[in-house]
Amino acid sequence: MRKFVSIVLIALILFTGVAFYTFFQADGYADSYYLKMTKPKQTSMVLGTSKAAQGIQPSELKRAIGKDIFNYAFNIRTSPYGPVYFESIRKKLDSSTTNGVFILTVDPWSLSVYSENALSIAEFREQRTFMAELKDVSSNPNLEYLINHFDGSYYKIFKRNGVAKVEDDGWLHVNLKNDIASVNRRSRHTLNNYKEYLDDLEISAIRIEWLERTMDYLDDFGSVYLVRLPVHPELQKIEDELMPDFKLRLQFLIDKASGYVDLTERSDEFQYTDAVHLTPESGKLVSRLIGEWIVEISEDNSVK
């Protein structure tokens, strides 16, 4: 028995050593979210789903606004507006913040729920994700995330040539082939997926209410801006079908915000990797536009 237990224990100790070494190597290459959960509490943030995660580059915003902003946006499944994302934002926010900038990207997807459980918050799609389950969103390494929620195989931690990397400012830098055939293939696939979502999703009054709560909460720490990011015209049609009265329904929130900009009006000016997400080049352009727009609004407000 002693020999057996010794072998098992030694093997486990050796393995634990390897595992901890691996965990300490995890960085922005590990997966699309991990790094965001290791950075300290923030004073200014970009919020929303994967459109914002890939489309808004804090370094460009900083160039215009002169402030460090952290991209704390994730994806359509984990970070639609609701109690779960709200709680995570609350954990990530430095409570001593006084003059923060908060860019909340809005679109129909981040305000939608599966029709079958539209009224039950406990059944919302983000409830069974790391967003709901992580107690700590600012420790490095974040063992809770790595052990319970890491996306895929751990060998990826050592992989340095992946298509995605989370930069230190939280921006998800995605490098995909941008030849026409690849873009068309991805776009077709994504549009099909979103068409399927259309059958299952509906706009949720509960999510809109939680967006308002998030805005009200962040308002105490700085200025809150609402941004609707550009999308491929085909996806725009699907979004319009899901929420034809988008602006009308959110008007009361737009009135509450420090500013609102709808960039879907300029969708044709940008390029997309898959009909949903902006390419890094277009993201840079959009981020610069948003930065300049915020400066403009701030100046207008200070003149008033």
Partner 1 sequence: MLFNSLEFAFFLPIVFSLFWFLPKNRVTARNCLLLIASYFFYAWWDWRFLTLIFLSSLVDFIVGRRLVATTKNSVRKWWLFLSLFVNLGFLMAFKYYGFFVQSFVDAFSFFGYNFAPERLNIVLPVGISFYTFQTLSYTLDIYRGRIGPTKKVIDFFAYVSFFPQLVAGPIERASHLLPQFRKIKSFNFSWAMSGFRLILWGLFKKVVVADNCAMVVNQIFSQYQEYSGSTLLLGCVLFGFQIYGDFSGYSDIAVGTGRLFGFDLMQNFRIPYFSRNIAEFWRRWHISLTTWFRDYLYIPLGGSRGNRFRTLANVFIVFVVSGLWHGANWTFIAWGFVNAMMFVPLLLLNRNRVYVDTPLSGKYFPSFQNLFKISVTFFLVNLSWIFFRSETITDAINYLGAIFDPSIFTIPYVFGIGLTHIGLICVVIMLLVYAEWLGKEEQQPIDSLVTRKDGLIYNIGFCTILITSVFFFGGQQQEFIYFQF
Binding site for partner 1 (CB under 8 A): 1, 3-4, 6-8, 10-12, 14-15, 18-19, 22, 147, 151-155, 159, 162-163, 185-186, 188-189, 192
Report in angstroms how near the CB of residue 84 gets to partner 1 at its nearest: 21
- Helix H segments across 26-94? 50-55, 58-65, 83-92
Nearer to partner 1, 106 or 183 (CB): 183
Nearer to partner 1, 200 or 209 (CB): 200
Report in angstroms how near the CB of residue 302 gets to partner 1 at its nearest: 47
Beta strands in the chain (DSSP E): 45-47, 70-71, 100-105, 112-114, 164-166, 172-174, 201-203, 222-228, 259-262
Nearer to partner 1, 107 or 274 (CB): 274
- DSSP code string of 221-255: TEEEEEEE----HHHHHHHHHH-TTHHHHHHHHHH
Nearer to partner 1, 19 or 64 (CB): 19
Report in angstroms how near the CB of residue 232 gets to partner 1 at its nearest: 17
Nearer to partner 1, 135 or 304 (CB): 135
Report in angstroms how near the CB of residue 123 gets to partner 1 at its nearest: 15
Q: How far apart are CA 145 and CA 48, in angstroms?
A: 20
- Judge whether 68 and 43 are in contact, CB under 8 Å: yes
Neighbours of 12 (CB within 10 A): 11
Report in angstroms how near the CB of residue 189 gets to partner 1 at its nearest: 5
